[in-house]
Structure formats: structure tokens, C-alpha cells
Amino acid sequence: MAHLLMIESWVGAMSTLLPRAIRDAGHRFTFLTRDLHHYLRASPSPRAHPLLAADHVVTAETNDLTKLPAQVERLHGALGFDGVLTSCDYYLPAVAEVAARLDLPGPSPESIRRACRKDLARAAFWEAGLPGPRFSTAASWEEAVAAANGLGYPLVVKPVDLCAGMYVRKVQDQAELRTAFLDLEGFPVNARGQRRVPIVLLEQLLTGPEVSVETVGFGGEVHVVGVTGKSLGGEPWFVESGHVFPAALDPGLVRQAEQTAVAAVKALGLELGVAHTELRLTPAGPALIEVNPRPAGNQITELVRRVTGIDLPMIHAGLAAGERPVLTPAETGVRSAAVAFLLPERAGRIAAVHGTGELAAAPDVVDWSVRPAGHQAGEPTSNNGYLGHVMVTDLVGGDAGTRAEALVAALKVEYER
């Protein structure tokens, strides 16, 4: 039994999936956070929060990387850790630094820093000759205008250090660029109290379907677990409205996507760990969006598990403990699994979500939830604003994606007047 240190977590699905995976693998964990109430306020169920399944809950300033490694080293002397991990992008650099300080398994701090900064990752892909959009960075409005004029509209404007699609949008002209730039300028600190890097990434707009490739790095090799199909909505935003595993693609295109993702993971130097690489299938072939050096969010790992039996959160925990991953698929009887998300039409307080009766009765629906009455919905501009989800499995034809989308489309959101 390994004793793992979890430094922070997301408050969504992974806050349940990762603690469950650690326990199911026969391990235990200590939870380290700067603000326990952040999790208790966002408990995913009426039951006790899954992070409270930790052997110990310890408070420390997890945002201060000048002090955190030494603090954890002292904690390690008292409790003894076999590995360190997180599910939250904003704390992946902290985990890498702590693992290096304690000589525990993990990718190098340099590789994580590159992967977690979209501008540094873009540069690494470019240097490796990997397919992707033309891009530029800007630290001022004048630099943004010059970069946009050099690249040409339409463009995608991104922060270099945010997650869940926050503030990522398509811009058609200089006026829209100005709005995007000012919005980012007005968000100098992320949701975890970390000061942001004031750099804007501008990219050539890629067209075509989006997919992600789920991989595991171990023993000097990057192993592909599978390719996930993704649906987007809410233009000019890039909100993920659903996922299906495996993606319904021509085998040749699947191989191209897999090869591109593996090359991207290697270009970043991510020699150990689970990764979630997003690509666009452009007319010229797969092109890289980004590599996330952790298990996929948005329930994708559950889709993978239901189809293949491979539990990526459990593998994530096992790698942190120094274990060799088992990546052989099992016969589950499920041909495809999909999740679709209920997006808000607008901001406002929810009076009710109608149409859930069919979800409770449908045999192919394996998981669903909707926000309760009184929930304050935000604008549909990122993956943080979902009002619910439906997950289905298909045992015969591999058409789970269409079914999940139809079930979510039948849900009707009533707003308070």
C-alpha cells in the first residue's frame, strides 16, 4: 500500500474519481490544500466530500513554490510519502517540484512547466516540426495588434495559463481582438489565487473536428490508450458540449492522430505520466491544440474505463507510486460510451430543469445530473458553466454519442422571471 500526497484537486468529477481510484488501487492519501472550504463549498454530492476520505488533511500555502517543497519535505519526514500527485492543472508545477525535491516518481519540473504554459508548448511543438497553427504572443495591446496583422484574421485568442476553455475565443477583427484583450487584462488572478502570466497567445484558426488522444508515458515509451471524439458549441467560444469514446474515425486518421499526439508528448519531455492531447483534424491532417499532462477531465476517463476497462485515474495514482501500469484492454461489452453536457442559454437563476424523467428510466443511461433550482447560471463561455450532463453506453452499434446528445437536447431549462 502506497501513501500518496495529493496537492489540491479540481472540484468537479475528478475530485470524486481520483480519491476513489486511489482507494480502489489499495493505496491511501493525504490531502494538502490552502483552502479546504473551497472544496466543501463545491461538494459534488450531499454525502461527505470524497477528499475527506484522506488519512490526513493538511493546510499549507500551496501557491508559494519558494516555500512549499521544503514544507512538504518536513511533512514527508513525519508521514512518509511514496508519491505526489494532483488532478488540478494549476498545481501540476508544484507537484513536479515537490516530487523532484523528495526524489519521488514524476516527470521533470521543466517538462511540466512547458506543458502548462501554452506559449512554451507551442514553441516546443514548432521546434520539433509538429503540425499546428501559426502563432504569436503579445504582452501589450500594441504587440497584439501587430501579431494579429501578421497572422491575419480570423484568429483564436488564448490566455497562456488558464484551463477549461476560459477566455479562449475566436476573433474576426481588431474590435473583437480589443474586447478579448481587455477581458484577459481584467482577469489578472486565477480562481486559485495565483497571479497569471500577462501574455496573450494568438493563433491561426484551425478548422475541422476536434479529438483528444489519451496516452500513458512509462519506461521511455508513450502508450496510446485511445482517441476521444469531441463536440464544441457556443461560438465564438470553444465550449466542450460532449465526448464519445472511441472516436468514430477512419483507422488511418486514428493512426495519424495517435502519432501526432505521441510526438507532442515526447517533444515536451513528458517521459512519465498520463496525458490528454487535443487536436483538430484539419483538411491537411491532425494539428495540435495542446497537451495536458494529467488525466482528461469532463468524464472522459469514465468513458475510457467503461469501454476498455482501463482506469486512467488509477493509472495516474499508480505512476505516482512508482508502479508499472497495466494497459491491456478488457472486454467490457461496451462498444462506445458518451457524455453530453447541458449548456446554459444565458446567465440567470435556474427555476427548474425539465425532462429528467426519461433519464432515470433509460437503461443505457449510466450517469446523469442537473443543477438544482436556485442555481445561478453564468454565461456559456467555458467548460465551467455546465448545468448538467448525461452519460450513456452502447452495447451494439457504437452510437452512444448521438444518443447522449439527443437526451440532453430534450432537457429544457426554465429560468426564474
Please state, rounded to an integer, the average pLDDT across all residues of the chain.
96
What percent of the chain clears pLDDT 90, i.e. is strictly above it? Answer: 93
Is 269's pLDDT higher than 90?
A: yes
From residue 64, give the alpha-carbon distance in Å to each of 26, 70, 324: 31, 11, 32
Q: Quickly state the pLDDT bin for 198 (edges 50, 70, 90).
A: very high
What average pLDDT does this structure show over 301-306? 98
Three-class HEC string of 228-247: EEEEEECCCECEEEEEEECC
Cis peptide before 154 (omega within 30 of 0): yes
Shared domain for 155 and 29, answered yes or no, is no
**Tell me: the pLDDT tens digits for 387-410?**
999 999 999 987 899 999 999 999
Give the per-residue pLDDT at 40.
87
Q: Are strands 200-204 and 155-159 parallel, antiparallel or unpaired?
A: antiparallel
Residue 119 lies in a domain: no
Residue 335 to residue 13: CA distance in whole angstroms: 23
Q: Residue 323: give the domain boundaries.
A: 210-415
Q: Domain boundary residue among 204, 226, 242?
A: 204
Q: Name which of 49-53, 176-180, 274-278, 279-283 the model is least confident about.
A: 49-53
Residue 84 to residue 169: CA distance in whole angstroms: 34
Shared domain for 302 and 225, answered yes or no, is yes
Is 44's pLDDT higher than 70?
A: no
Q: Quickly state the pLDDT bin for 45 (edges 50, 70, 90).
A: low
| Model confidence, pTM | 0.96
Q: Domain boundary residue among 87, 104, 121?
A: 104
Residue 388 lies in a domain: yes
Cα angle value 178/182/188 (rounded, 5°): 150
Sequence-distant (6+) residues with CB within 8 A of 366 are 306, 337, 391, 392, 393
Give the per-residue pLDDT at 43.
63
Give the per-residue pLDDT at 49.
85
Shared domain for 50 and 22, answered yes or no, is yes
Task: Give the number of domains in the chain.
Answer: 3
Give the per-residue pLDDT at 46.
66
- Residue 225 burial by Cβ neighbours in a 10 Å radius (0-12, 13-18, 19+): buried
Residue 207's CB is within 10 A of a number of other CB atoms, namely 10
Residue 117 lies in a domain: no
